[in-house]
Amino acid sequence: MNIAFIGDIVGRPGRKMIKHHLTNIRQKYNIDCVIANGENASHGFGLTVKNADELLKSGIDIITGGNHSWDKKKDMMVLLEKENILRPANYPDGIKGSGVCKILINNQPLAVINLMGLYDMPQVLNPFTYIIDLVQQLKSDGIKHIFIDFHAEATAEKRVMMQLLKGKVSAICGTHTHIGTDDLEITDNTFYVTDVGLTGCRDNVIGMDSKVPCQKALTGLGGHFDVPNSCKSIMQVIIINIDDDGLTKDAFKLKLYDDKEDMIIKSILN
């Protein structure tokens, strides 16, 4: 089973990169399932029905979310009626939608989990105790292939998640910071990366126009972050090969640019 995971898609530049590159990536790397974090896909904040449809038609199978999932609340309430649109699973009971998607890939069940951290995030249930119970439940249901998008600010929380779940899940991919890390590893057949990094503008500040962030840094006065109309773009994708027993055998990161040659980063630990 070959899974591709795309980090935080930021606005129109991110969607444009996916529309331009994803079909070729699916074919070239024989991808069975594409998962992408889409909580910033609409103007940098939230996800609209229109943009979700665009992403799905471009070749994404499952869209995960995070702390910005509710920024376009009216649209999200509609989108969460679909099984392949997720919000963090560890929101308290009673919140609409699901944080788990179960699908069959080549007659093998795959569980995709969207999880959110604690530090500097909206109020959610403890992700560590929550995921341990959830993974045990999925295993008891016979699901060996388990992928987690852990949307968290603190790198330490992501490393703790790796230590708790190594050897128990297929992959843990961090999102949220928009800054890609180079710590790809496969430990006890579990793939891990602290943050995949954004898909969108790469020459500003976390995919947003740099004017307001710089103004805030200099004066303390904030403002509305906007996605630039024109920028240099990047698409960051993790491609993971998982065997029939749910064990990750190989993984690498693909970085595609709109103005220079693509890069491939291999896992550095096996």
Q: Which helix (H) or strand (E) holds 135?
A: helix 127-140
Nearest Cα to Cα of residue 152 among 64, 240, 82: 64
* Alpha carbon distance 250, 230 (integer Å): 36
* Alpha carbon distance 176, 26 (integer Å): 24
Q: What is the pLDDT of residue 265?
A: 85
What is the pTM assigned to this prediction?
A: 0.96
Q: What is the pLDDT of residue 263?
A: 85
Q: Are 53 and 27 in contact (CB under 8 A)?
A: no
* Alpha carbon distance 19, 40 (integer Å): 16
Catalytic residue from among 21, 43, 68, 151: 68
| 220 Cα distance to chain centroid | 31
Q: How many CA atoms lie within 13 A of 55 on its CB side?
A: 33
The tokens describing 245, both together, are 């027993």
With a cut of 70, which residues of the chain have pLDDT below it?
A: 267-270
- Please name the residue that has the structure tokens 């910005």: 68
How confident is the model over 227-256, as pLDDT tens digits?
Answer: 998 899 999 999 999 999 999 999 999 999
Q: Which helix (H) or strand (E) holds 26?
A: helix 11-28
Superfamily for domain range 2-266: Metallo-dependent phosphatases (3.60.21.10)
Q: Are 247 and 171 in contact (CB under 8 A)?
A: no
Provide the mean pLDDT of the chain. 95
- Please name the residue that has the structure tokens 């594409």: 34
Taking every pair of Cα atoms in the chain, the longest distance, rounded to a whole number of angstroms, is: 57
Q: Are 47 and 79 in contact (CB under 8 A)?
A: yes
Q: What is the pLDDT of residue 267?
A: 64
Q: What is the pLDDT of residue 229?
A: 85
Task: Based on the residue annotation, tell me whether 68 is a catalytic residue of this protein.
Answer: yes
Break the chain into its structural domains and give their ranges.
Answer: 2-266
